[in-house]
Structure formats: C-alpha cells, structure tokens
Amino acid sequence: MRLCQFDDGKLGLIEGDMVRDVSAALATLPASAYPFPRHDVLIENLAAVRAEIDALPAVDAMPLSSVRLQSPVRNAGKLVAAPVNYQAHLDEAVADEATFSRAHVRKIQETGLFLKATSSLIGMGSAIEIRHPDRRTDHEIELAVIIGRTGRDISVNRAREYVAGYSIGLDITIRGPEERSLRKSLDTYSVLGPALVTADEIPDPSGLELLLTVDGVVRQRANTRDLIMTVDDLIAFASSFYTLYPGDVLYTGTPEGVGPIMPGETIEASIEKVGAISVAVVAA
Ligand code: MN
C-alpha cells in the first residue's frame, strides 16, 4: 500500500498516477489530548488504518498531480540520519577536502549517527528554500526508513519487524565545518515522499536502484546494495542509543555524486519500488 498525505491533512491511497482520498479511515485513530504523543499516531496504528481503508466504499480517484503532497509522516518524533554510508561517497569526500570538512569525513562506524530537526521536514509539494545562497548547498538522495513500532536494543535479525515502510528522502546539506545537525536542519532541508510504501511491498530493501537528477542531468545513480551499514544494521545501531518510536524516520545515507543546487532548479529523484519525486529549489 502506498499512503500519502496531501493538501491540508488528507490521507491518500496512491494507485499509479492517481490518488484516492481515504481520510475517512483516520476516524479509527484514538483521540488524544494534551500532552499530545510525541510520536506519529497514524503510523503507530497503521494496521488498523489499513483495515479501515480496505473497508471504505470506493471513492473516485484524482490525478496525483492535482494535489499538494505533504510529508507522508506528519509527526515524526526524530529524524535519524546516517553520515557517509557508501564507500564511493566516502572516497569522493576524502578527495575533496576543500568542500568536505576533514573532521566530518570518517567511516560511519566511527562517526555514528546524527539527528536532523523535525522542523526541517517537508513533502514534495513544498519547495526547498535556499537560506544561505553564499554557501554551497548540496542534494543527497537517501532511502528513508519509517519506523513502525517502539523498540530499543533491537537485534539486527529482528530489525525488519520494526519497519512500517519506506520513502524517498532528500537530506539537503550546507557544506562546511559546522555540526551536521546545524547544516542539515534548515527549514525545508529534509524532504520525504511521495508516499509511505508499506514494508510488505518491499520485503528486502537492499538492491534498490537510486537515481537523482538536477534539471535533467544525472547526478547520483547508485544501489542500496552498496550501503556500508544496512537498513538492519542502522536500526540495531540507532536503537542501542535511543528508543525508536512509530514515525521516526531513518535517512540511511547518500551515495556518491552529491553536488550543489541553486534556486530555479528542479530535483527529480527516484528509488526502485518506492517511487519518484520532483521538488523545486527556490530562494528563501
Ligand atoms: Mn545524508
């Protein structure tokens, strides 16, 4: 199932290039009151929502291009991200010391993970707003994993049981010496979309082709089989430091080919079995 969020708080079921409004299924969610849950209640109750969607009377589909897509996760508790997690990207970063701060270019096993601010999260219906045009700002395509269950100290062998689904993530990044959490947390610098593709549609997230173009020019083309730490490794590693909650998003790291983006350009990104997104880049 491919679930999206669109316009103002609507839930959509994507079928090809069409979408059906299945917002009525949200009525199955439990009521909440202050203090509100800090995780995503829709993702937490995904099984019940899916059953409700299946039981809904058929509604007309509309073209996906006619709606404004939001992030498929609206209440992410945290955005966990892997730094350099493809060997070829590590190699290109080591070779370009002028752009990539030496202090930040190490193997992921030494660097660990970092967090991006949840306030940076947008869907593909919003534009990436370049906040500091004097600084080099790069695209990074990444397979994004959406956590479905609460867990800590999750074993590698059972990691997949904690995955609600997958999405395309863009980890937009200012290059420079500051902490990653600062350079990658600007408003609009975490893109997620077009949908949450439920885990049953992608039994194995290794071996997926990734492609990113800027104004039609291929910048990144890679395959998740070349991840240094796999999806399972990353879930186990992250959960050995902090509890993972439904709706937490794990950006699994970008492959080689990162490069600058400028206002006026359009990023198109696709991941095999996950979908495709097109996002505009504008001046803030
Ligand atoms: Mn990244």
Q: What is the pLDDT of residue 90?
A: 82
Q: What is the pLDDT of residue 103?
A: 64
Q: Kindly list the protein residues that place their beta carbon closer than 5 angstroms to ligand 1, a single-atom ion.
A: 140, 171, 254
Q: Could you tell me which of 198, 202, 181, 199 has the C-alpha nearest to residue 190?
A: 181
Amino acid at 203: P
Reported pTM: 0.96
61 alpha carbon – ligand 1 mean position (Å): 35
pLDDT digits (tens, 9 = 90+) for 81-124: 999 899 888 888 888 887 887 666 777 888 899 999 999 999 99
Q: How far is CA 205 from CA 107, 184, 228, 248, 251, in A?
A: 22, 25, 14, 17, 13
Q: What is the pLDDT of residue 105?
A: 72
**Residue pair 164/46 in contact by the 8 Å Cβ criterion:** yes
pLDDT digits (tens, 9 = 90+) for 166-212: 999 999 999 999 999 999 999 999 999 999 999 999 999 999 999 99
Q: What is the pLDDT of residue 17?
A: 95
Residues 6+ apart with CB under 8 A from 35: none
163 alpha carbon – ligand 1 mean position (Å): 20
* Chain mean position to CA 121: 9
As a whole number of Å, the CA-based R_g of the chain is 18
Mean pLDDT of 25-36: 95
Say whether pLDDT at 136 is over 80. yes
Q: Is 36 exposed, middle or buried (0-12, 13-18, 19+ CB in 10 A)?
A: exposed
245 alpha carbon – ligand 1 mean position (Å): 21
18 alpha carbon – ligand 1 mean position (Å): 30
Q: Please provide residue 222's backbone torsions phi and psi, each rounded to the nearest 5 degrees.
A: -155, -175
Q: Helix/strand/coil (H, E, C) string of 237-283?
A: HHHCCCCECCCCEEECCCCCCCEECCCCCEEEEEECCCEEEEEEEEE
Amino acid at 180: R
**Residue pair 43/164 in contact by the 8 Å Cβ criterion:** yes
172 alpha carbon – ligand 1 mean position (Å): 7
pLDDT digits (tens, 9 = 90+) for 144-164: 999 999 999 999 999 999 999
The more confident residue out of 268 and 106 is 268
**Residue pair 14/64 in contact by the 8 Å Cβ criterion:** yes
Q: Strands 121-122, 190-198: parallel, antiparallel or unpaired by DSSP?
A: parallel
Residue 29: count of CB within 10 angstroms of its CB: 14
Q: Could you tell me which of 232, 229, 272 has the C-alpha nearest to residue 141?
A: 272
Ordered alpha helix ranges (H), 142-206: 180-183
What percent of the chain is modeled with pLDDT above 70? 99
Q: How far is CA 276 from CA 64, 167, 230, in A?
A: 12, 9, 22
Mean pLDDT over the full length of the chain? 95
142 alpha carbon – ligand 1 mean position (Å): 7
262 alpha carbon – ligand 1 mean position (Å): 18
Mean pLDDT of 247-265: 97
Q: Could you tell me which of 158, 183, 202, 197 has the C-alpha nearest to residue 81?
A: 183
The more confident residue out of 32 and 270 is 270
Say whether pLDDT at 267 is over 70. yes
Q: What is the pLDDT of residue 209?
A: 98
Residue 241: count of CB within 10 angstroms of its CB: 12
Mean pLDDT of 58-86: 95
25 alpha carbon – ligand 1 mean position (Å): 34
